Amino acid sequence: MFYRKEVHRDMEGIHVYTARKLSDMANSLESLAKAFDREKGAGGLSREDGLAALQMAGAMVCGDCSKCNLYSDSEKEDSYYLYYLLRAFEQKGNVDFEDMPRLFRESCKRQEDYVGHLNRNLGRATMNLTWKNRFLESRDAVISQFRELAVILEEFARQMEQAVDVTAQAESAVRRIFLRHHMVIDHMLMLEYDNKHKEAYITVRTNNGRCIMAKDAGEFLGQAVGNRGWVAAKDSRSVINRQFATVRFIEAGSYRVMWGAAQAVKSGEAVSGDNYTFSQNTPGQVIMSLSDGMGSGETAARESQRVIELAEQLLEAGYTARAALKLVNTVLLLAGEEQHPATVDLCCIDLYTGVLETMKLGAVATYVLDESGVELLQAAQAPAGVLEQVEPVLLSRKLWASCQVVMISDGVLEALPGEDKEQVMKEYLEDAKGGDPQELAEDILEFAMSFGQENRDDMTVLTAQVWKRDINR
């Protein structure tokens, strides 16, 4: 018993030390972000750019000629012509002879050379401005990641500081039931966070030479602490063998989710430009995402798959849904000159609270079905990779037992008749409630395809249904 108390004190000390270090790291990242967050991107060519272009053109062509005084006149603070010259170049991509002052056109004997040098100089200035803005956009993306990481670390540090060690309340019962199933515990740590959720770290091995699945050990842990809602974490060991190893267990949550999907490819194409994913890799959370690449075929498929994979990786790393989508948008903007934007529809279901949060970038409405009817969650927004200052729209709703969630790509919606297509889908879903998620997804796709001889776009339906978990069974 003395040994176990010493272990608990050591673990608590490590716990506090780790929380403080994480908090220090968060502060350092925020300081780094502030150090970089100074210069903003320029909107267009500046007065200095125009003067430099005029001066360089004069040096290359004019020599000691001063008949038109073009540079000296433009150098004046109230020079309207310089402003006109820059805007004309930005609009047309070049300066014409008609854009030059009347005195220049009447007196200059080397007009063609001068205008040619002026256009080349302004072109270089524009190119420099483009690269400068691209560099600043890249820097802003790094700053955004610094800030988001700082928030993640600070939140994790706060959770660790407020976590309560409740090992003593459960340790004896856990050791007894594990020993009954031929497992020996070296030491364990059980923490309760401020939201009352618990997790346990148990260093354990088998004592009969056999292996036991970690998921079965989770059930034994649930029996010991009074409920069956415990599972081995996705990132933990899946098998307990004869060697001591630490397994992380978490409470499974009050809800569980089943899902279904159905797809149809645009007529004449070999692959769908839509991509989707359903993931439970984040503890206590289900993530459903759907992306529709611009156009169809392999190019659209690559872009939508890229969006889905980036968003999923960021969410699993601990980024919030809003931050993940903003970073995905930034990556697409900086990827290259050729843009292939994609819509993003992201749904996160909290298995502890049953709260649905959906984030949209250019995606069509999400439908929530319950006993009272069908609710639309929608927000107009540009696709990812189109606008720099895009802000994902967050919509939230509480889900109850047997609620169904339906996500569709715009190809499904566009296949429906009438002008108010969202209403057509809503009326169909009001009559189609019931059945398992896979059947619902297939029925919705069949309904959308029934209005045409061929598919005018890729169509994807992603569905989910929520159930209340019976932890006492």
Give the model's pLDDT for residue 448. 94
What is the rounded CA–CA span in Å between residue 460 and residue 406? 11
Give the model's pLDDT for residue 386. 44
Buried b (16+ CB within 10 A) or exposed e, 6-33: ebbeebeeebeeebeebbebbeebbebb
What is the rounded CA–CA span in Å between residue 306 and residue 219? 37
The residue type of 371 is: E
- Residues 453 and 251 sit within 8 Å (Cβ to Cβ): no
**SS3 per residue for the chain:** CHHHHHHHHHHHHHHHHHHHHHHHHHHHHHHHHHHHCCCCCCCCCCHHHHHHHHHHHHHHHCCCCCCCCHHHHHCCCCCHHHHHHHHHHHHHCCCCHHHCCHHHHHHCCCHHHHHHHHHHHHHHHHHHHHHHHHHHHHHHHHHHHHHHHHHHHHHHHHHHHHCEECHHHHHHHHHHHHHHCCEEEEEEEEEECCCCCEEEEEEEEECCCCCEEHHHHHHHHHHHHCCCCEEECCCCCCEECCCCEEEEEEECCCEEEEEEEEEECCCCCCCCCEEEEEECCCCCEEEEEEEEECCCHHHHHHHHHHHHHHHHHHHHCCCCHHHHHHHHHHHHHHCCCCCCCEEEEEEEEECCCCEEEEEEEECCCEEEEECCEEEEECCCCCCECCCCCCCCEEEEEECCCCCEEEEECHHHHHCCCCCCHHHHHHHHHHHHCCCCHHHHHHHHHHHHHCCCCCCCCCEEEEEEEEEECCCCC
Give the model's pLDDT for residue 179. 95
- Residues 351 and 288 sit within 8 Å (Cβ to Cβ): no
Give the model's pLDDT for residue 36. 63
pTM of the full structure: 0.68
- Residues 457 and 240 sit within 8 Å (Cβ to Cβ): no
Q: Which of 364, 407, 458 is nearest to 259 (CA)?
A: 407
Cα 421 to Cα 65, 128, 400, 424, distances in angstroms: 69, 46, 27, 5
Q: Could you read off the pLDDT tens digit of each residue along the chain, which spans 473 residues?
A: 444 444 455 555 565 666 666 677 767 767 766 666 655 555 677 777 777 877 787 777 777 676 666 766 666 766 777 777 878 787 788 888 788 887 777 777 787 888 888 888 888 887 887 777 777 766 776 777 677 777 777 777 777 677 788 888 899 999 999 999 999 999 898 988 777 788 899 999 999 889 999 999 999 999 998 866 788 888 788 999 999 999 999 888 888 899 999 999 998 888 998 999 998 777 778 899 999 877 777 888 888 888 888 888 877 776 777 777 777 776 666 554 455 567 888 899 988 889 999 888 878 889 999 888 899 988 655 444 444 455 667 788 999 888 999 999 989 999 999 889 999 999 999 988 667 899 999 999 999 999 988 888 899 999 999 988 765 54
